Amino acid sequence: MNERCIANERLETTGFCYTLSLINGKYKMTILYTLMEFEVVRFNEMKKYIREISYKTLSSALKELEADQLVHRKEYPQIPPKVEYSLTERGKSLIPILDGMCEWGDKNRI
């Protein structure tokens, strides 16, 4: 039997750590949840939905999620500018995790 020894392991090499590096950060999970629920969302709609988030934080988090290929940003060439956000296929692959969190919250809400 080959037992794992924690002394020989490193957290940063795990899939858990990689996933956390993409979704960790204030409001990233909330943004992903919002896009899961509403599919295509404009910036100001998301700001109104996530009331406590600042414009700067929302913008920064969306840029990071886009860079990590979890969120797609579609800009329309018009005045005033129109930008829509949605989940990429990679982002959609997180839906079972988000659904699981929702189910756990519904069952364990106090």
Full pLDDT tens readout for the chain, 110 residues: 678 888 888 888 889 899 999 999 999 999 999 999 999 999 999 999 999 999 999 999 999 999 999 999 999 999 888 999 999 999 999 999 999 999 999 999 88
Residues 28, 31, 33, 39: is their CA dihedral positive or negative? negative
> What local confidence, expressed as pLDDT, does residue 1 receive?
63
The per-residue pLDDT for 72 is 98
Looking at residue 8, the DSSP 8-state letter turns out to be G
Distance in angstroms (rounded) separating the CA atoms of residues 22 and 25 = 8
Selection from 39, 25, 47, 56 nearest residue 91 by Cα? 39
SS3 state of residue 85: strand
- The pTM (predicted TM-score) of the whole model is 0.88
Return the half-sphere exposure (C-beta side, CA atoms, 13 A cut-off) of residue 20.
7
For residue 5, the model assigns a pLDDT of 85
| Bridge partners (DSSP) listed for residue 41 | 85
The type of residue at 85 is Y
